[in-house]
Amino acid sequence: MRIRSRTTAAAAFVAVAALTTAGCSSSGGRPADEGGGAAAGVADTPRMEIAVITHAAPGDTFWDIVRSGAEAAAAKDNVELNFQGAPEAGDQVNLVQSAIDSGVDGIAVTLAKADALTPVVQQAREAGIPVVAFNGGFAEWEPSGAMSYFGQDEELAGEAAGTRLTQEGAQHELCVIQEQGHVGLEARCRGVDNTFNGTSEVLYVTGTDMPSVEQAITSKLQQDPSIDRVVTLGAPFALTAVQSVQAAGSSAQVATFDTNKELIGAIQDGDVQWAVDQQPYLQGYLSVDSLWLYATNGNTIGGGQATLTGPAFIDSSNVERVAEFAANGTR
């Protein structure tokens, strides 16, 4: 089956300025030197404060990669970065409200629970604070009042995965959703079902309780030996699914969305077949850099459309190249 086309902006190629520092902290880059000029590799523009607020759950290493990108942009752009996350929508709303109350110069926010976040995003815009969305809320970012969106079309990414499963000859896939009601995760599994020619099932698990995730996947595989693919929606869950396959005595193969250093190793070892990569480093980087460009030069990225950072596949054909960057925490 063909993947449905969508009207989106192509992801821009971004030249990342080389940094002379060995690393950067969440407080942003180095200040201007005492002589009044900008430190090498840091923009000579007024110091800004940007809040980056995500729906990250504790321990999810995907967000470490996002943060690395945001910190790299902050270091280059002379930005004080306030990077925070909360998996519950209400807590995320409170973090955005606190950023508004503190008078930050810009906000980047994920819209995984867009219904809850939209009112506070609009409050920020009414307060004169520019807001960009990233990672979650592909269909909701524009109605929310955000200026731009950086991420992937999650349903389109799911369709790419479903097409690949069909091409591989899979017959029965289990799509594991770790957070029920998360619009992006639901869209991924819906996309897989759209283009996969075999049987598709969804299994909801509690992503914040990894032992229960392993138990739920193991139990499902034991109950239904016809499942020949387990598709997870995050790297930690793929690694857990590998353990579940072994515990269940199943012959199912594991594929996933998103990566981390350990997941790249699992692809190298053949434990995970492939991953759909949305380039989280780029999402963090573009979110911060776009707010700096808007403040310092009036630029907006995307031309009114979402800027796509994925999907792309990481598999045995290119994993060695990706592993070079994963070792640095950027892929």
Residue 34 pLDDT exceeds 60: no
- Fold match between domain 48-152+279-300 and domain 154-277: yes
Inter-residue contact 296 to 35 (CB < 8 Å): no
Is the pLDDT at 25 greater than 90, yes or no? no
Predicted pLDDT at 188: 97
CATH of 154-277, one of 3.40.50.2300, 3.90.1490.10, 3.40.50.10190, 3.40.50.2020: 3.40.50.2300
User: What whole-number distance in Å separates Cα of residue 133 and Cα of residue 204?
Assistant: 26
Section 248-256 average pLDDT: 98
In this prediction the pTM is 0.83
What CATH homologous superfamily does 48-152+279-300 map to? Response regulator (3.40.50.2300)
Residue ranges of domains in the chain: 48-152+279-300, 154-277
Residue 37 has pLDDT above 90, yes or no: no
Is the pLDDT assigned to residue 39 strictly greater than 90?
no
Which pLDDT band, with edges at 50, 70 and 90, does 60 fall under?
A: confident
Mean pLDDT calculated for residue range 254-271? 97
Question: What would the mean pLDDT of 303-327 be, rounded to a whole number?
Answer: 95
Amino acid letter for position 26: S
Q: Is 34 left (phi over 0), alpha (psi -120 to 50) or beta?
A: alpha
Q: With contact defined as beta carbons under 8 Å apart, do 39 and 33 qualify?
A: yes
Mean pLDDT on 79-93: 97
**Do you find a cis peptide bond into 236, omega within 30 degrees of 0?**
no
Q: How confident is the model at residue 196 (pLDDT cuts 50, 70, 90)?
A: very high
The pLDDT tens digits for 101-160 are: 999 999 999 999 999 999 999 999 999 999 999 999 999 999 999 999 999 999 999 999
- pLDDT for 189 beyond 60: yes
Q: Is the pLDDT of residue 301 over 80?
A: yes
Give the per-residue pLDDT at 59.
83
* Digit-coded pLDDT (tens) for 134-145: 999 999 999 999
Contact 241, 254 (CB under 8 A): yes
